[in-house]
Each structure stands twice: as C-alpha cells, then as structure tokens.
Structure 1
Amino acid sequence: MSLEQFKDRNVMQNYTYIPVDKPPVKPLEKFKQVVKRTFKGELFVGLWVVFREMVKFNIHTVQYPKEKLPISPRYRAVHKLYRLLESGYERCIGCGLCEKICIANCIRMDTRYDENQRKEVTEYTINLGRCIFCGYCAEVCPELAIVHGPRYENASEQRAHFVLKDDMLTPLDFLKEGKQDEFPGFGAVSPNADERIKKTPLAY
C-alpha cells in the first residue's frame, strides 16, 4: 500500500440515507406534529409509575442529620488514633511507616525520646483535605494505633480544621469508661488475635 491512498480524501462509501419528513409549515400541521410527539404510550406509562409509587406512601427520604444510613464496618472514614488499654499511652510508637507509605503525602510526624528513653510522638497530623482514604496507613501500622473510624462528616470552612490531632485521638475519659470502640475495618484486631500473640521481653 502506498501513502497516496491515504492522502486521497475522495473515497466513495456506501451511505444509507434515512428518510426525513419535511418540517411542517402550516400552523395546523405544526399542531398535529406536537400532539403526535407528546401523547404517546411512553408518557402514560411514566405517569402510571409515578402515580403508583405515590399511592404506596413508601417514603425513602432520610431525615439527615437526625437519621443516618448504616455504613459498612469496613468503611474508610476519618482516622482514629488509639491508646493502650492498660496504661493510657498512645499506641503509636513513632515508627513512621504510615508517613512513608502515604501516597497522598498528607501525614506528618515528629518524634522525640522522653525521660524513660521511650520514643514518643510530639506532633502527628493528617491533612484530611489531601487524604484519599486509601487505608494504607492503617494496614501498615504494626501497633494498630491508627484505624479508620465511622465519622465521615469532615466538612469545614477552614483548612486548619483538617489537621487536628485531638479530634482523632481517643480521649482518656473514653478509655477509662471502656468506650474505645474497636472497629472491624482496616487496621482492626482480628477475632483470633489473642491466640496469635506471643509474649516478648520488650512488652510494655
């Protein structure tokens, strides 16, 4: 095949022409065309479906925020930072794996050593404005310190509200009262976790 065949734009093809009626000119013809196109069987079928649903009075409207639809236990919403049940310290050991694996680059962490030479996190922020809620941070956490909670209402008027750590960390009052929820989603404890735990000399 030569290049000249592709340059030739005068290619004969077998077109199928669809017959189109001539547009109406007289007012009576226009009126007949409007009536013909309007009152078809599909119109009455649609009206019957709407009327049938109205008679049932089966209202599906959810009165938000008083009523909320149930969400899946594996739903990845705003993060939660957990504490240790025994001591109340934060579970986070400052390994930085969540910061390294974050593909949206929205996690920031600063650490230091306290008086007991234990590594603690001094600053931990998640920019929820950039977070894509992929769940990698919860999957990679070795201490199950960060999980995805069920709170999905994170709208705000200021960007500074998207990076507050105190909103994600479990309060001490909740921990004392046993209200720290364990979500069965990403990063949560598996049902047989107690059987798989091995005692180590570094337990704290």
Structure 2
Amino acid sequence: MKNYTPIPKRKEPKTTYEHFCKSVKMTCGLDLFKGLALTLKEFFSKKVTIHYPKEYIPLSPRYRAVHSLQRLLESGNERCIGCGLCEKICTSNCIRIITHKGDDKRKKIDSYTINLGRCIYCGLCAEVCPELAIVMGDRFENASLARAQYAGKHELLRPIDEAKTHTQLEFAGFGSVSAQADKSLRPTPIAWDKPISLESTFEKVDSSAETGEKSQNSKQGDV
C-alpha cells in the first residue's frame, strides 16, 4: 500500500494580535490590488451582455428548435406528402399524422401534431424527410403552462406570404440543404476520367439502333 502524506492543517490565528496581523497583511498585500485590477479591466472592456428580450443572440443555421413545415415557392402548396417517415423514426414518439386518400388517390393530411413537451429536438424527422417538408427552425422560446404542449399544423406551417417574400428561407433550418449545396457538389471519378455529354450518348444510341436494324434486315434477307 502507498503511504499518503496528509496535508497539514492551516494555522488559524488564536490571539487578537494574530488576527490583527492577518487582516493587515490581507489589506496591504497584493491580493487586494489583483482583485481591483481585474475589476477595472472588466469595467473598461467590451460589453458582452445583451438586453433580452429586446435583443437576441444570432443563432446558427443548424440550430435545432421548434419545427417548421415548408411550402413550395411556386405554388404555395405544402411540401408534406403524408408518408409518415417522420412519425416512424421519431424516438420520442411525439409526432402524430392523420391522413386520408383523396379523389386523386393521393394522401391528404387531416392532422399533423407534435408534442413539444416530449420532443428531444434530435432532428431525425428533418433528416429522414424525402421532400424537405419539415425542418428544425430557430424558435427557441417555447415556455408553456401545460406539460404536454401540442403544436398543430396551422402553427408549424410557414405562411404563404412569408414563403414568397423570403425566397432564401425555403430550405432554412436543420435537416435541409445548405445555400452552397450546388458549389459543394463534386463530380464522380467517372466524370473526372472521361466527361460524358448528352450529345455523345444520343449518338451512341442512334448508331446502336441503326446497326441493330441492319443486322435484322440481313438475317431476314438470308432467310
């Protein structure tokens, strides 16, 4: 076993004279001036506090807060097709979708609710959505008196006026493509080796069809 050396206890002043000497040492020592210097430094430094709720800290575009249902900019229709993937992948089991088949044999959404009091804001619903219909927004003020706070489709769906005026916000939020997505794409190794153009592919298809017709005609003539 290792022998541990106990730390000696701090010697406390016992007499009045020792208390007086300790107080004089702390008052006239460097500790007081170090504290004053730090206080003056922070007093004249740049302010980092904000006046909430009049001021807000800028949030990251990948911030995960209350969800937002997106619309199509051209028509203003909802992007959600009611596939139910977000409901199935939700680990908190807080998403509920009720749909029915319309006259055109397509799903119509009757109700889309999210229990925000149970949601852990993991962002899996936004990542799995094939239509980029649901993203994690930046509305972090979500205080409520009820423990189970439900958000309906009318609250989560982006208004048409906002979607048309702010075109750059169509895919804003966690789980959506970034604004620099087109520039970030890289060509495949095949494209690096031999670039393929549409004209060359069409010429190959036409030539193969002509050779096929000639071979069939020659076989029929031999018969």
TM-score over 0.5 for the pair: yes
Does 1:70 find its partner at 2:58?
A: yes
Distance in 2 between the 1:148 and 1:72 partners?
A: 12
Change (3 A) 1:75 1:16: same
Partner of 2:182: 192
1:179 to 158, 163, 166: 166
Would you identify which runs of 4 or more consecutive aligned residues in structure 1 move more than 6 Å? none
2:140 to 144, 152, 156: 152
Code of the residue aligned with 1:179 in structure 2: it is H
Change (3 A) 1:40 1:137: farther
Does 1:86 find its partner at 2:74?
A: yes
Change (3 A) 1:20 1:146: closer
Distance in 2 between the 1:146 and 1:80 partners?
A: 6
Q: C-alpha displacement at 1:34, in angstroms?
A: 4.1
Q: C-alpha displacement at 1:71, in angstroms?
A: 1.1
Code of the residue aligned with 1:85 in structure 2: it is L
How far does the alpha carbon of each residue in 1:129-183 deviate from its partner, in whole angstroms, 9 at most, with x for none?
Answer: 11111111101000100011122111122346542322210123334x4336224
Partner of 2:212: none
Q: C-alpha displacement at 1:55, in angstroms?
A: 3.2
1:55 to 29, 44, 53: 44
Identity percentage of aligned residues: 55
Gaps of 5+ in 1: 1-10, 196-204
Change (3 A) 1:40 1:189: same
Gaps of 5+ in 2: 186-223
Distance in 1 between the 2:84 and 2:161 partners?
A: 27
Q: Is the 8 A contact 1:81 1:169 kept in 2?
A: yes
Superposed, which structure 2 residues align to 1:1-204 within 5 Å?
14-20=3-9, 22-36=11-25, 40-56=29-45, 58-159=46-147, 161-175=149-163, 177-179=164-166, 181-190=169-178, 191-192=181-182
Distance in 2 between the 1:128 and 1:18 partners?
A: 52
Q: Is the 8 A contact 2:79 2:131 kept in 1?
A: yes
Name the TM-score, length of structure 1 as normaliser: 0.75
Q: How many residues align?
A: 181
Query: Higher helix fraction: Structure 1 or Structure 2?
Result: 2
